[in-house]
A and B are shown apart, each in its own frame.
Chain A
């Protein structure tokens, strides 16, 4: 397992490095011969790159370079102390700090944002230190600066190639208090970075938290500016003038530019001179302005409905105060300052020399930025001044930002910052009367069922045309509307009038949904959408419990079995969304039967329309067999085919194949390779199973999927997509293209605000926007629990790899041949040998012929197991994995540790009793390893392992009682969760025969047949042949 950390060096480069748990050994003394100060368990550059390529597809390795930094780390006799993320609680004695060199991948510019985005969205198997949490919050502040224009351009000249850069310009009271807090909150490890390794042997110095923070904030601000400029701005480059080249470089991805020697210092001096002017020495206190609206009669408040729009007769008051720069809540009003006399006074928790003169000096400074102040200064001891409505508005809009940027404190009325105080539009959508809907139109879109009305509103008040005209005539920027102060600019009034005159010409469903979610800051007509009121279908759509409110569907005719209640609700929900023309994402927990709900949907629609057209299921190869099996089992009426493998039908015959089938099952790989052919088919529905496979929106696979021509779209996933925002975008873009906007704008406007600063409004918007299209039920939901057995058994149908098929066929051919001529003891031996070999081949080629070869990618069953394991990790669950074969258990353990970097436990017949108990305690502990591998024989009885809520039987045993006993290691008293039992079976092989036998035995509830393989030896050669021959369904 790697624990990633992110550091910034003095030049503003970000350095990614990682502790590697596989290199970490407790209490291993540092090898004195290798004592070059190199960190003994940091991941090397190659490992870092490998992880990035595999786990973080957003990142582009070309943006990074292999680098090294030196960190001052707590150190013990055994070397650098590991982070608590690596080893859990650390209570180790740490001695003197010492410098350790670590390998890093470094980057700067735009890619820094990708790093934060990628890790925010990383799979559960990627672990990060708290540095990421810290930088995410810090980058939120940089983001706010950029959004507020609180940045300045400059030159970064480190002696190599100069860069044009943007730097943050903290200027508001809030900026300074947050910088203070961020400085205090910085994990000391982020200050541990020292100068580049090899820089002399002098005393180690570490940067202050303030320096590290400001360097990093500048780097983030720089990247955020570039991101915004990359989209919209274009500055002509290729100019000879170095200043113009600098300007152009401000908009490029990194910002390098060339300037010959005499020009560069000149440019730097000019910029310093210009931008340095605003940098004032901060003396601890500053002037602060507080704006008060005119006092209104209390009777006014209640008579709003009489006079919706009013301007106040009274004047505004601008109060002067002194404020502590680093603690903006400490304020003293000017009147008090005038009363307090003497050279030094204790004010604002500090001693001030001549506070009156400080106040005067600050007023003099402010006068240069806010001319009306002169009126107040004509008095001898001014403590406030009156402003007209127009002046107050100008103060709010123009002067206060300028004053704030020159480090004056500003306290504005709360409503000024509230975006709903702007003129906005409201959407009202009403269902049409039934008779208004033309029954002749066959497919009715949701847009035909609704009447849309756009209204202009201020806060909660809807404004009529005459209200707007009234506002326009007032020419008063600050008015009271419905009891609150708002500012209205004349452009907005014009836009509002235009909207009322012309309406919104044919809004698209995307417009409507985005309005409904509150997403559009720049909606129709250039005004923000501030409110949406829906009734009828649209109201239902945004109802979070829509699946409960819909009439549950019935189990469709032809469905073999009975749908559970929640599955019937799911079915109704699918139908509801598809009827409205939307794509849906069914994200039920693993084991709740997503496949079954899709199959039921196919049957139900065939009940309504005889031939709706073909449905394409795109799934990972490892679950293709599962699909076919479940279709055969639950919906045998459906004509199903698997389109996969080198012998799949060619392009010319594809449409014939599709025409003959209701359900075509294929893999992501086939869609990617055959997109030309697949794209020619007009599908009725495309279903993506494990839809998180398309999370990388630029991958070929994803692009191919988007090209499929289909009427309905359905995505299935068992992972909590709502927390993986980039993944979520990609799935939603497939389901309902355009709804979420471009990926870039989504990342910037939604994902990052939500992830960086927990922006509540954006979180709400995101939920509103995606909620209608995602149905996720958890096994733990109260409504589901009552509906579920507390032990769920699932057969996981697996495929054989080509290597396995070859081995399997060869083994059966060879041994069946020998069987023909064998007798007695020889026959018995051969049968047992054959069964043993085939079971080994199904498990893994390496179990069949031991050897070194690779583990991964050679067995379909292991692939399926890895997928299950990923889901289990994702959900924070734990699993027992049983195999009859200790060899296989070990292979599985290696593979899981390798892939997920998490430790596993392995218990087999050779485990000493004492060690057994240690393992059990370890697994049962709060932070125990997620996977416990057990040999069926050694661990089938007697152990209590209730920390697991998944049991995986990697291979099958003839006697169900043995399996059940094993399952009961966790499904027993003390188990608080439901238990999921996964039984892995290779389709079309001996394992399927075993499964049938077990089920038959279970049905008969007999144990006529003895435990073990012995009874097989009683079977005839033909019976054996039937049992072991690979059926066509193995594909």
Chain B
């Protein structure tokens, strides 16, 4: 095989491209976006994946639109015109979705977790029940295109889009379902119907009135309101002194090593030991 020579090119810097949050290591924090990224990473181990990651971090992706069945993106490469990237072939059809929706409606856990911003770990079971898969079974199952001259697939531009898509999925698991063919609102409405939740009314809302400093009554100005007598106390029966800390989850790395000593402070405060 004869060596081919490419002129080493630098991508044009962007000003308001989409930058990956992850600054080092893996991109995609949640298990479902990891699963998605792994499909790509396991398919190709070329440098293009690494460069794609760098692109994603540098903000070379200018635009990323997730639509039903297709993701489209614009990636700034070394040429002035950004490359067009699309990732498609992922949509289930309406019939397939109806079956998936029935499976999802059978267990409250699915919608509950989706609404709480989590992809239910066993959602694949719901897809499997109707012989489908939430995640692409392989890279080849997707139809991937990029307008760049590189013949390799994935190219670095495609790779960059995959990484940013993973972060999009991190934030909103509904985005993954949307790519698979169902908008959030549509999905929720169908599930509502399956639950027997009825028709919409009109929404209402009220804003809290602004608090005014009332100085009309000099007597009242200096006195406590009667509500003060209704403030009662109960002495906590604490069994987990640092529960407040525990509820925060893992500390950022820069202060993670203080975590144990902070816990100890809570123990000191609450038990005197």
Interface residues, chain A, with chain B CB atoms under 8 Å away:
72-74, 81, 83-85, 89-90, 92, 94, 97, 129-130, 133-134, 137, 140-141, 144, 146-153, 169, 171, 174, 178, 181-182, 184-189, 191-192, 206, 208-210, 225, 228-229, 231-233, 235, 243-244, 247, 250-251, 266-267, 270-271, 273-275, 277-278, 338, 341-345, 351, 353-354, 356-357, 360-365, 367-369, 374, 376-382, 397-398, 401-402, 405-406, 416-417, 419, 757, 759
Contact = CB atoms under 8 A, between A and B. Distances in A.
Contacts of A210: 211
A185 B234 contact: no
A271 B255 contact: yes
Contacts of A85: 222
Contacts of A376: 108
B215 interface: yes
Interface of B: 105-109, 111-118, 188, 192, 195-205, 211, 213-228, 230-249, 251-252, 254-255, 258, 261-262, 264-266, 268-270, 272-273
A228 B231 contact: no
A397 B242 CA distance: 13
Given A83-B222, A84-B218, A94-B216, A342 B254 contact: no
B108 A74 contact: no
Given A181-B227, A274-B255, A364-B116, A342 B197 contact: yes
A267 B258 CA distance: 12
A565 to B, nearest CB: 41
A679 B227 CA distance: 54
Nearest to A234: B268
B254 A231 contact: no
Contact of A405 (B197, B244, B266, B273): B244
B270 A181 contact: no
B243 A187 contact: no
A84 to B, nearest CB: 5
30 contacts: A81-B218, A84-B222, A85-B222, A90-B219, A130-B224, A133-B224, A147-B238, A148-B238, A149-B236, A149-B240, A149-B243, A151-B244, A171-B244, A185-B225, A185-B231, A186-B224, A188-B222, A208-B211, A229-B265, A233-B269, A243-B258, A244-B258, A274-B255, A343-B200, A344-B203, A354-B197, A368-B118, A369-B247, A378-B107, A405-B243
A293 to B, nearest CB: 17
A368 B254 contact: no
A247 B116 contact: no
Contacts of A274: 248, 251-252, 255
Given A144-B236, A186-B225, 12 more contacts: A85-B222, A149-B240, A188-B213, A247-B262, A270-B254, A271-B255, A343-B203, A363-B108, A376-B108, A377-B109, A757-B231, A759-B235
B116 A228 contact: no
Given A147-B270, A187-B223, A380-B106, A342 B211 contact: no
A150 B244 contact: yes
Contacts of A72: 213, 215
B109 A367 contact: yes
Nearest to A343: B200
A174 B192 CA distance: 34
B231 A377 contact: no
B184 to A, nearest CB: 11
Given A182-B227, A360-B115, A188 B221 contact: yes
Q: Which of B202, B213, B216 has the most CB of A within 10 A?
A: B213
Nearest to A344: B201
A233 B265 CA distance: 7
A189 B218 CA distance: 10
A382 B252 CA distance: 36
Q: Which of A185, A188, A210, A247 has the most CB of B within 10 A?
A: A188
A374 B255 contact: no
Contacts of A250: 265
A279 B189 CA distance: 29
Nearest to A143: B233
A181 B262 CA distance: 32
Q: Which of B237, B240, B266, B273 has the most CB of A within 10 A?
A: B237
Contact of B192 (A189, A278, A356, A364): A356
A692 B192 CA distance: 73
A74 B213 CA distance: 10
Contact of B239 (A247, A363, A397): A397
Given A182-B228, A185-B227, A187-B222, A380 B105 contact: yes
Nearest to A382: B108
B272 A344 contact: no
Given A149-B238, A185-B231, A192-B213, A402 B116 contact: no
Nearest to A147: B236
A940 B242 CA distance: 72
Contact of B116 (A133, A185, A361): A361
Contacts of A379: 107-108
Contacts of B116: 361-365, 367-368
Contact of A402 (B114, B226, B243): B243
B257 to A, nearest CB: 8
Contacts of A401: 238-240, 243
Nearest to B258: A247
A351 B238 contact: no
Given A133-B224, A185-B231, A353-B203, A94 B197 contact: no
A250 B238 CA distance: 22
Contacts of A354: 192, 197
A74 B215 contact: yes
A369 B107 CA distance: 19
Contacts of A406: 247
A191 B255 contact: no
A932 to B, nearest CB: 28
A360 B269 contact: no
**Shortest beta-carbon contacts, A-B, top 5:** A364-B116, A148-B236, A377-B109, A343-B200, A364-B112
B255 A267 contact: yes
Contact of A232 (B235, B239, B262, B268): B268
A709 B120 CA distance: 75
A419 B236 CA distance: 10
A406 B247 CA distance: 7
A67 B167 CA distance: 52
Contacts of B213: 72, 97, 188, 191-192, 206
Contacts of B198: 341-342
Contacts of A231: 272
Given A85-B222, A144-B233, A402 B247 contact: yes
A344 B200 contact: yes
A130 B221 CA distance: 10
B31 to A, nearest CB: 13
Contacts of A247: 258, 261-262
Contact of A189 (B108, B221, B230, B242): B221
B201 A342 contact: yes
A331 to B, nearest CB: 19
A277 B204 contact: no
Nearest to B108: A377
Given A85-B222, A148-B236, A397-B239, A381 B195 contact: yes
Nearest to A174: B234
A345 B268 CA distance: 47
Contacts of B231: 137, 140-141, 178, 181-182, 185, 757
A106 B235 CA distance: 31
A81 B196 CA distance: 63
A361 B272 CA distance: 39
B179 to A, nearest CB: 21
Given A83-B222, A267-B255, A342-B198, A367 B112 contact: yes
A134 B222 CA distance: 11
A151 B240 CA distance: 13
Nearest to B204: A351
A222 to B, nearest CB: 12
Contact of B228 (A83, A137, A266): A137
Q: Which of B192, B204, B248 has the most CB of A within 10 A?
A: B248
Given A232-B273, A757-B233, A84 B215 contact: no
